[in-house]
Amino acid sequence: MTAAPVPHDTAEAQRVVAALSAAFSAKVVGQEHLRESLLVGLLTGGHVLLESVPGLAKTTAARVIAESIDGRFRRIQCTPDLLPSDIIGLQIYDASRASFVTQLGPVHANVVLLDEINRSSAKTQSAMLEAMEERQTTIAGTVYPIDDPFLVIATQNPVDQEGTYALSEAQTDRFLIKEIVRYPSPEEEVEVLIRRDTGLYDRGHRTRPVATLEDIRHVQRVTAEVHLSRDLMLYASRLVGVTRDAEKYLPSHVARVVEYGASPRATIALCTAARALALLSGRTHVLPGDIADLAHRVLQHRLILSFEAASTGVTPGRVIDAALGAVRVP
């Protein structure tokens, strides 16, 4: 059996990743899954959808990621009256020049936080998601490339649904990962209080950069070279395929509520994210556990369940658990 190829400059990439993890943990208490998901998004060039109630350090986490790579951070508070031009930019008439000048919008940054994306209208959501996919904006016929690296972190509140516009399935599929942010444990909550009381947490204090934008571009190249065997590619493909052929592989009470399974984009996302998780774990090769660990985060927003699912208590998580149990681990 041939040895897995070693990505170029792996040691330097792992040093950068370790420094980013330490910078995150120094500012955000707990939330290890959130740290993993945001770094996986950064390392792969993917985007992350966060779902949680307010007050769980999502804005702090996004700001820490941006500051630790010495990147530009922009926060966009989504509201029903937010226009596409408020995000991508527009042309403004400059009377002193007697001409129009282009003012780029806040999407032109390295890390963009879209707070409560489901409060913006469908047209505004589409404009943002187009910028995410194409990595460019078009204003008055001129194309403006978006910064590289580029990470969009979108949040949505699952509780308050008044005045919201749910993301369509095609739009949520554009996010590499969906992370459900949980409440901290009592011990972690006490640590937050201690940090505030002792001045260890200062809202105005910037995180010291531990990497440059060029470092991140280098780490992204190394991530793409992390070894993923054909057997594990097949494992990821079969796992996603089970959701598309649920009646054949899953228990009947679960299978009957699955209207549409995940697309091949989910398989690509699962393999891409697994490479990043392996690098975060200090490895140059992917293990089956990397794929299994990411299955919920990559697939839960890509499954479409019937109305019956809500009435019977079958969640996307239960479908994914059943799929994991139905596929043999290589």
Which residues lie below 8 Å from residue 48, measured CB to CB, with a gap of 6+?
37, 38, 40, 41, 151, 152, 153, 154, 175, 176, 177, 178, 179
Other Cβ atoms less than 10 A from the Cβ of 122: the count is 12
Domain extents for the chain?
Answer: 8-225, 226-330
pLDDT of 207: 84
Q: How many residues does the chain have?
A: 330
pLDDT of 161: 62
Fold of the 8-225 domain: Rossmann fold (3.40.50)
- Beta strand 151-156 with 142-145 is unpaired
Cβ-count burial 61-98 (b if 16+ within 10 Å, e if not): bbbbbbbbbbbebbbbebeeebebebbbbbeeeeeeee
Residue pair 37/164 in contact (Cβ under 8 Å)? The answer is no
pLDDT of 170: 75
Among the listed residues 330, 285, 317, the one whose alpha carbon sits nearest the alpha carbon of residue 10 = 285
- List the CATH code of the domain at 226-330: 1.10.8.80
Alpha carbons 295 and 139: distance in angstroms, whole number:
38
Q: What are the average pLDDT values for consecutive 10-residue runs of the chain, which has 330 residues?
A: 56 92 89 93 95 84 93 92 91 85 92 90 85 88 91 85 70 90 86 72 74 95 94 96 92 90 94 96 94 96 88 90 93
> Rounded to a whole number, what is the distance in angstroms from the first to the last CA of the chain?
15
pLDDT of 289: 95
